[in-house]
């Protein structure tokens, strides 16, 4: 249903060397949206229709996610970063806003560090690649742990359905997260001062995966960055408070560093 919503918004499914991505929309500027680990392009369906009215929009299925290969084997960080570069080059995009949620935020920072001339604005939504353990486990092998993770992602009052618990437990043995490699080589703690592009951090007030202290460390490290806290949201503001998330994107030129 989420992927169908991308098509309804006017985005077209495209393929490039085993990578699947969605592209479309209109406007003088381009926005690239990078999803989190274990997610896919359809995760942006709540905001894609509105964005497609203002921007040219590109939303990849990152390698090993959604419909993008490889279906098996390691997912090296270097390969995932190259996939973003390949898609952007194939679409002939010269300069764009890059938005990343969670793991996608980490990739967005890395892209901006490598290609500062190609990024007009960096938006990090609950992510960024610091060498800090998450506040909750990454895997669940029992229902109690699964519920703890789901509340960290969706908020303390999230009514947890049984299917979500079962799905999370199943991912403990079969998920793209388990296939990631080269992770230790790509932490950005010592490189935040090298970020040269305007940066906005968008964080849910109830994020239980990477809490606000993580956001504050990112803001302190990236000169001139702004932090916007989304009330009522947790780890995925663009799904949990889509209207406020969209407002944050329109406020990136705001002079205030924190709201």
pLDDT at position 174 is 86
How high does pLDDT run on average in the chain? Answer: 95
pLDDT given at position 252: 76
Please indicate, yes or no, if residue 152 is contained in any of the structural domains: no
When pLDDT is averaged across residues 226-240 and rounded to a whole number, the result is 97
Note whether residue 255 is domain-resident: no
Q: Is residue 92 part of a domain?
A: yes
Q: What is the pLDDT of residue 251?
A: 83
pLDDT at position 256: 43
Instruction: Give the domain CATH number at 56.
Output: 3.40.50.1820
User: Does 153 or 256 have the greater pLDDT score?
Assistant: 153
In three-state secondary structure terms, 97 is strand
Arithmetic mean of pLDDT, 202-231: 97
Angle between the N-to-C axes of helices 77-90 and 103-114, in degrees from 0 to 180, rounded to the nearest 10: 70
- Domain range for 227: 2-132+180-250
Q: Can you tell me the mean pLDDT for 128-151?
A: 95
Q: What is the pLDDT of residue 144?
A: 97
How does pLDDT run across 66-110, given as a tens digit for each residue? 999 999 999 999 999 999 999 999 999 999 999 999 999 999 999
Query: What per-residue confidence (pLDDT) applies to 253?
Result: 46
Is 228 buried (19+), middle (13-18) or exposed (0-12) by CB count in 10 A? buried
Within a domain: 161: no
* Cβ–Cβ < 8 Å for 60, 16: no
pLDDT band per the 50, 70, 90 thresholds, residue 22: very high
Distance CA 35, CA 169 (A): 21
Q: Is residue 246 part of a domain?
A: yes
Whether residue 245 is predicted with pLDDT greater than 50 in this model: the reply is yes
- How many structural domains comprise the chain? 1
Cα radius of gyration (the chain): 17
1 pLDDT above the threshold of 90 = no
Show Cβ contacts of residue 168 under 8 Å, excluding neighbours closer than 6 positions. Answer: 140, 146, 149, 150
Q: Is residue 97 part of a domain?
A: yes
What tokens appear for 12 in the block?
A: 């077209």
**Residue keyed to tokens 């490699």:** 181
């Amino acid at each position: 249903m989420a992927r169908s919503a991308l098509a309804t918004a006017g985005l077209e499914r495209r393929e490039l060397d085993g990578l699947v991505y969605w592209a479309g929309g209109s406007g003088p500027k381009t926005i690239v949206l990078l999803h989190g680990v274990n997610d896919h392009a359809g995760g942006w369906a709540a905001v894609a229709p509105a964005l497609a009215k203002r921007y040219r929009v590109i939303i990849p299925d990152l390698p090993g996610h959604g419909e993008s290969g490889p279906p098996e084997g390691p997912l090296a960080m270097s390969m995932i970063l190259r996939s973003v570069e390949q898609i952007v080059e194939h679409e002939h995009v010269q300069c764009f806003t890059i938005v990343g949620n969670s793991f996608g935020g980490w990739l967005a920072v890395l892209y901006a560090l490598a290609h500062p001339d190609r990024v007009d604005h960096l938006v990090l939504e609950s992510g960024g690649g610091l060498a800090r353990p998450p506040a909750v486990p990454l895997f669940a092998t029992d229902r109690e742990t699964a519920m703890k993770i789901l509340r960290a992602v969706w908020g303390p009052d999230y009514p947890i359905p049984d299917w979500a618990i079962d799905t999370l437990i199943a991912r403990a043995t079969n998920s793209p997260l388990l296939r990631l490699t080269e992770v230790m080589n790509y932490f950005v703690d010592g490189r935040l001062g090298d970020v040269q592009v305007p940066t906005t951090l968008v964080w849910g007030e109830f994020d239980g995966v990477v809490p606000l202290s993580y956001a504050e460390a990112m803001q302190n490290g990236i000169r001139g960055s702004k932090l916007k806290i989304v009330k009522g949201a947790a780890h995925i503001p663009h799904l949990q408070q889509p209207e406020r998330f969209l407002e944050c994107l329109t406020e990136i030129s705001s002079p205030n560093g924190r709201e």
